[in-house]
Structure 1
């Protein structure tokens, strides 16, 4: 019977590409949120004119409040319990379900909508993230930063793929928004546009399912029957308990991760950058509508921004394979801080200048998503890197809490919300630039090797002792 064999290299490339597609789909929530926010606020104001951008923007931090928790659970509980592949299926199913839940809750309170179309999709994003990185790394272990960058670049490409699509679904005729004189913000008042908002969510759910289905078939982990994996299989067959895997992951986190200062630095760095990234994505279009009411033009800019984000995620994580984390990320965050400090003034002075700066922000702002995991895999090699990634990802909860405070404080009654908004983002990013200078490159690896060496010595002594005791018992008289 004819049987077609696919080479490991081709299978690895297919796995990385599938991971790219999966990340592109789950990343569409962040990519679309800023584009969807004006449509959502305009739709909700039909029934309640008190709804503001600040109030509707809580959908993003509402989901973010638990995102770090799910990141930790994914690496330390879900993956050890059911395996990375089932974990990936669970995350993709939840994400496909989220726009359907959003459709059902669209006419309900903003708080119920925040759970259905905020908590559910963002939680599922974190469940999906670690398995896609683990699978890609397993095929190309010597190029961790590069393959992780390729996978996570999919999240950046979301803007390019989905912003024009969403704009077409909601506003295909490019009907312009109108300025709300009493609020200073801009809204859509065309009933044609508003009526298309609910169905656009159902279309997104269908598109997600179509893209997920083939990707899940080829996004798998490479398994080699080496001496080590045979020993692991023998050990696993004896243990027959997933609880041992979970315990082992937490022991690694406690004995190695929590004793390494880089975990704390990367944890704080991620908090600062997760505060900045989703903040700019949630408000970029709200600010852009003050400069231009051409919806199609703005969606085009957002789509092009996705290309810049894709390149940025790949480039900066690949650079970490050649240079140090502090060299790459300190320069990146410093440039981004200058960008935020200038964007408000340049925006009102020159719309083309604003376009340049917003695209530069897209290029820089989300590179940490792939750079931080790549650095963790460099510092903590081995099967337990997932639990460290999850622990650092717990910082997302604190970052989204900061986004919630920023949104509620600056966009409810503030006469100059965007000026203060960009100044705050610039200061936060500058702090991240300083923090990145303290990340070392090898201390964690040395600690791991030392711990593993000590563990092997103890196991060897125990084995010798057991052998000696066994022989002694045999020589005893009956």
Structure 2
């Protein structure tokens, strides 16, 4: 059978023209194209890039899994008396370093630049892990230096930009944006827990039944090499496909501020700042002012709601003023309690599980799956805050933590299913602090200094990590695991009470309304020419004022 090319071409042309002649279909196509233009695609890429960066940075949540291997290795190689209670100091050094660096990260980022800070921070993080290959054969202090201090230093520089930029792209969905980005931080252990266990313990060798430490020579010999492998993986994930950076170049090439270099990391390149010509920013400006001033003039003045440095539309509180506000210290104490629970559970869950579960693969699986709950919990509490308030989300979190942590000692009698369930639910719950506090900080103190003030909250990590490092060994010696978890439940109860006192709808205006009103200070020249006697002025004095005089 043959077909006439003429008939085929004619029918094709007829159908094509008929399709475009249909005004309904043409209207749908135009509406779809117009709608797609309004989607902040670069904002979505910024969220994905932030997720990838935090995925590698969040691999430190696998510390509880790595601690059992690293402690066992060091006991066989120069530190025979080292215990899990001693090794937790590495995590404490990490947290203390983070508490010192985070308040300074705003100044570091301002000096280096947002994307340069992410690049340098991620590189330092990877190098710190790789250097632990050498320090494992030295002493605990050197391991704390590389695996604790150096890695945390890099993380502290790279962490804040991914969060603040995500909120700037989606100012009306701050909780959602934070949930997506920090979800990567919570999900890092899901990947790296499994990588660590597959490389080190593919045969599912259990620790010694007496002292609960690994003694298998083949297993322990692979521990130093794993540090090099992890450092390389972190770096490759951050550097992979960096040539695609050019695709993210801003269309408005006249603004050199938004031209990007090919040398940057893929994930860092995806995290870009909102351009000043974005439609969603223009709409936000239109909603925020009732004047007839040209929108382009507003944009030229950089009056963007989410701009950290030049924001003028919205009220804000400076970092110095925030340190005088009770809301800051309520957030500080809440974070202190939440992170204390986080650090203890994430550091000791496997060591506790080994006391009644002789299955290393199962315990590693619990840690890996817990990161999924960590990731989804951050998104859940971010969305809950968007739909209700920070206060509602935090009250739910602290109530759940109190019940779950207090129930952990019971799991050693019930069995490993209850143990896994409790650990997973705890990992689903405690990340609510990390996804809601960045958003509530900017809501409370304004967006201009929100990132800097949020960094100040990390100073609480200095105290709680010091407590974990110094007191955990003593508590375990005195009361065992039951005492440890009941003390943690007490801290979550304290955070619950503090949250009850926190305002439901905090904002800079509320803080400023509590300040004493000051009389305006006149210019010195005006003050000098001001008449000292009311009778010398040109302002008429009313009769009742004269009678009062």
Q: TM-score range by the shorter chain?
A: 0.7 to 0.9
SS in 1 for 2:503: coil
Alpha-carbon offset, residue 441 of structure 1: 3.7
2:273 corresponds to which residue? Answer: 221
Paired with 2:146 and 2:417, the residues of 1 have a C-alpha distance of: 37
Are the aligned partners of 2:103 and 2:455 in contact in 1 as well (CA < 8 Å)? yes
- 1:33 and 2:85 are equivalent in the alignment: no
1:473 corresponds to which residue? Answer: none
CA offsets 1:322-361 (integer angstroms, 9 cap, x no match): 2122221112111111111111122322221111111111
Of the three residues 98, 101, 118, the one matched with 1:70 is: 101
The size of the alignment, in residue pairs, is 435
Structure 1 alignment gaps of length 5 or more: 234-241, 466-478
Paired with 1:155 and 1:433, the residues of 2 have a C-alpha distance of: 25
Of the three residues 202, 213, 218, the one matched with 1:187 is: 213
Structure whose residues are more often helix by fraction? 1
Paired with 1:87 and 1:361, the residues of 2 have a C-alpha distance of: 32
1:417 corresponds to which residue? Answer: 480
Equivalent residues in 2 for 1:125-164, closer than 5 Å: 125-164=155-194
Paired with 1:346 and 1:340, the residues of 2 have a C-alpha distance of: 11
Larger CA deviation: 438-447 vs 110-119: 438-447
Paired with 1:116 and 1:28, the residues of 2 have a C-alpha distance of: 15
Structure 2 alignment gaps of length 5 or more: 1-35, 240-265, 278-295, 304-308, 527-549
Alpha-carbon offset, residue 449 of structure 1: 7.5
Are the aligned partners of 1:24 and 1:158 in contact in 2 as well (CA < 8 Å)? yes
Under a length normalisation based on structure 2, what TM-score does the superposition of the two structures give? 0.74
Equivalent residues in 2 for 1:14-413, closer than 5 Å: 14-29=45-60, 31-47=61-77, 48-75=79-106, 77-179=107-209, 181=210, 185-213=211-239, 214-225=266-277, 227-232=297-302, 252-255=318-321, 257-411=322-476
Alpha-carbon offset, residue 170 of structure 1: 1.2
Under a length normalisation based on structure 1, what TM-score does the superposition of the two structures give? 0.85
Are the aligned partners of 2:394 and 2:499 in contact in 1 as well (CA < 8 Å)? yes
CA offsets 1:174-201 (integer angstroms, 9 cap, x no match): 222222x3xxx41111111101100111
2:543 corresponds to which residue? Answer: none
Paired with 1:33 and 1:6, the residues of 2 have a C-alpha distance of: 43
SS in 1 for 2:56: helix
Paired with 1:161 and 1:7, the residues of 2 have a C-alpha distance of: 35
Are the aligned partners of 2:48 and 2:270 in contact in 1 as well (CA < 8 Å)? no
Of the three residues 437, 444, 448, the one matched with 2:507 is: 444
Larger CA deviation: 145-154 vs 126-135: 126-135
Alpha-carbon offset, residue 294 of structure 1: 1.3
2:497 corresponds to which residue? Answer: 434
Alpha-carbon offset, residue 364 of structure 1: 0.8
Residues 1:186 and 1:415: Cα distance change in structure 2 (over 3 Å): farther
SS in 1 for 2:507: helix
Alpha-carbon offset, residue 223 of structure 1: 2.1
Paired with 1:124 and 1:138, the residues of 2 have a C-alpha distance of: 23
Alpha-carbon offset, residue 6 of structure 1: 8.8
Alpha-carbon offset, residue 275 of structure 1: 0.9
Let me know the Cα RMSD of the aligned residues.
2.8
CA offsets 1:266-299 (integer angstroms, 9 cap, x no match): 0111111111101100000001111212111111
Paired with 2:300 and 2:520, the residues of 1 have a C-alpha distance of: 21
Larger CA deviation: 202-211 vs 380-389: 380-389
Alpha-carbon offset, residue 363 of structure 1: 0.8
Are the aligned partners of 2:89 and 2:144 in contact in 1 as well (CA < 8 Å)? yes
Residues 1:112 and 1:342: Cα distance change in structure 2 (over 3 Å): same
Paired with 2:123 and 2:299, the residues of 1 have a C-alpha distance of: 30
Alpha-carbon offset, residue 259 of structure 1: 3.4
Greater relative contact order (CA < 8 Å, ≥ 6 in sequence) = 1
SS in 2 for 1:259: coil
Paired with 1:434 and 1:15, the residues of 2 have a C-alpha distance of: 36
Paired with 1:288 and 1:375, the residues of 2 have a C-alpha distance of: 35
CA offsets 1:437-477 (integer angstroms, 9 cap, x no match): 121144432157779xx99x989x98xx9xxxxxxxxxxxx
CA offsets 1:358-397 (integer angstroms, 9 cap, x no match): 1111111222111111211222232311111111122111
Kindly name which structure, 1 or 2, has the bigger radius of gyration based on alpha carbons.
Answer: 2
